[in-house]
Structure 1
């Protein structure tokens, strides 16, 4: 899949933030080059349906503007003695689709790595939570009546075509979905047939209606909720009141003494002093970085050296492999009869004292070959021990 950027979605970023962000909807025709179906295609949705492991609420169905009961397209299956009450029946889902239903795939970034990467482009730029919903709509059908959502949306057409009508945002941001009649809305600000590679941006409270035309349609709605000043300031204050100065447990009941009120005033003044000393650019960078990891648009939770693939590669570790000491803490316990206890990640292991001395003597980042890591041992045993400590995370492979 193409490595798309935020600029691919919005064009000139300065123009986007000055003229459209939080103000009005934006259309970019042919924004994504290459083959947009590689982001999400009909065939990939077929594969996911037939895996039979995706269950509601990841899959929902809407027909004639109303939700379809999950019971009509799920069944109970038994997996190794455990009953799964809502496994999707592919044939039922296909029947509903052929009858005109829109299939909605919620939070696909939980399931599909390429969509998690696509969402991350927006999370990284805006420091906000993102979530990816896909809509599969039959030709000639409209899945939902005109409404607005309590989130910002980036719409990406990946397969087929869909007509979109958008009206300018209505009122202040709130956490509710709003519904409308077309008579209430009047003439749309944008009326366009989206084709693969086209992108729309919809601020909060942008009324919209979408319908597939001559072709069936797959589009992504990447939902994003920016954080308010209130939320950002709360995070800043939380970071400033960490530590012993604010960790006591005062009694603030009816019979509290005057000293408690005096202490409270002192705490407020201390907090105010810390707020006045905040380095605004550095703090905003910290808040941006923390926002990039908000659920569910986070980067993958695992590090490369925590993967099955990495562990499997350690099975083939050879004498020439280069290992490096990580920053994983290694505590030294008691020594007895030539063996020393080491504690790592809650595991206690007893090893020859010579091995303990080598490991504790390695500085973080220091490199050594697997064959010579433990010079008092034969090469084969040195490699075996290197494997074990790499699996614990004390060592990492610099090159294999």
Structure 2
């Protein structure tokens, strides 16, 4: 998705500086991912509801009543996208934002799961549909990294260096709005027109704004909520709660205005915390587990087809091909006589002889339901049925 190698992107650009890759360098236009026709389908036919959609005009969000309504008899919920209202607002210059397309548009959902697997960071996708010569939002920065893919039309972007580097999710651009506005008046780092197939990588904190040119513009913004060192710090501090000294109460009558007493307390606490952090560094597995849970909590696995799966279970035979459900974050443990698939809120256990089959399936390779590793045909079918029913495997 960029014009440089994965290694060079990781070393020179990731979290450091923007990268604009032109369509001719990439050799693709992403038309199979999203399109103008896809926008019309989502607006007209999918009964999209808030907060999966919003509209803005010159940087200001419109009241939802201006573009939503009830769906009529049998669908009276009042926050459904109203295609007629959207037409009026879009024709008047408002930008349409389709949010969380990784949940509502299958090609983007599949693309996002693959991207998350490559990046090992959570990601989500919005589409910005802007009428001619319209600016959707004021200059601002995001608290997550983004990849911008121009899908349709042209849009002129201005990118400025950050005024607050590597912002956390709790540090929005509005905390620095005056500095952002001043920075946006300076010379841009990037001042370019994007055309279909162009891709921009933008680290969090970089200031940006965009204006559509000469016709409707559609671009995708892929937000990457990068796990960061502050996440590790928080996990380390949380782990330090196991130390009784760090859980102890302050002295009775402690006076926080007493400079000497406060200095002594802080120094004692820092020393105790440093000892605990050194101990945590020697056993980092719990922190790794917590970071894995964070990724899992922000990542949706591949959807399953519940009805057709249940229908297929009774007639499963050697023609059935199964594979691990993509994006399903898991841990596989083995005890003396069992293999355990540890999921977000439950653990699925199988006899120990299925361990090799489970580990092979977890690699992602499609496999015949009757030919799982180290199992005969009958045992393979038993394991395949169980894992299909548990939503761990899917039929291909």
Structure with larger Rg: 1
Shift of 1:194: 0.6
Unaligned runs of 5+ in 2: 253-268, 323-337, 356-373
Give the Cα separation in 1 of the matches to 2:56 and 2:313.
Answer: 48
Contact preservation (8 Å) 1:27, 1:200:
yes
Q: 1:54 aligns with which of 38, 48, 57?
A: 48
2:280 to 253, 272, 275: 275
Contact 1:161 1:212 in 2 (8 A): yes
CA contact (8 A) 2:160 2:183 kept: no
Q: 1:138 aligns with which of 128, 131, 136?
A: 131
Equivalent residues of 1:232, 1:287 under 8 A apart: no
Residue 397 and residue 189 in structure 1: after superposition, are their counterparts in 2 closer, same or farther (change >3 A)? closer
Deviations 1:261-287 (A, max 9, x none): xxx99x9798456424236xx788767
Question: What is residue 296 of structure 2 aligned with on the other side?
Answer: 293
Distance 1:184 1:220, change over 3 A: closer
In structure 1, how many angstroms separate the alpha carbons of the residues matched to 2:159 and 2:51?
Answer: 27
1:312 corresponds in structure 2 to 311
Q: Which residue of 1 aligns with 2:326?
A: none
1:1-400 → structure 2 map (5 Å cutoff): 8-9=1-2, 11-30=4-23, 31-77=25-71, 80=74, 83-174=76-167, 175-177=171-173, 178=177, 180-181=180-181, 185-235=185-235, 252=249, 271-272=276-277, 274-278=279-283, 289-290=292-293, 292-295=295-298, 298-300=299-301, 307-317=306-316, 363-364=353-354, 367-369=375-377
Deviations 1:119-159 (A, max 9, x none): 33443344333221110011222212222222222111112
TM-score (norm 2): 0.67
2:240/2:277 contact within 8 Å kept = no
Q: CA 1:137/1:319 → structure 2, altered by over 3 Å: closer, same or farther?
A: closer
**Higher relative contact order, structure no. (Cα contacts within 8 Å, ≥ 6 residues apart):** 1
RMSD of aligned alpha carbons: 4.6
User: Counterpart of 1:135 in 2: which secondary structure?
Assistant: strand
**TM-score, length of structure 1 as denominator length:** 0.67
Matched length: 337
Q: Shift in Å at residue 328 of structure 1? A: 7.5
Cα distance in 2 between the residues matched to 1:85 and 1:110: 21
Q: State the Cα distance separating 1:218 from its structure 2 match.
A: 0.9
1:79–1:286 Cα change, 3 Å: farther
Q: Contact (CA 8 Å) 1:76, 1:84: kept in 2 or not? A: yes
Once the two structures are superposed, what CA deviation does each residue of 1:65-102 show, in whole Å capped at 9, x if it has no partner? 3221111121123575x741211111111221122211
Q: Do the aligned partners of residues 393 and 144 (structure 1) sit closer, same or farther apart at CA in structure 2, a change above 3 Å counting?
A: closer
Aligned counterparts of 1:41 and 1:166: Cα–Cα separation in 2: 25
Whether contact under 8 Å (1:129, 1:294) holds in the other structure is no
Match of 1:261 in 2: none
Q: Deviation per CA, 1:363-400: give whole Å up to 9, x if none.
A: 43674556x99xxxxxxxxx9x9999787559x99999
Secondary structure in 1 matching 2:2? helix
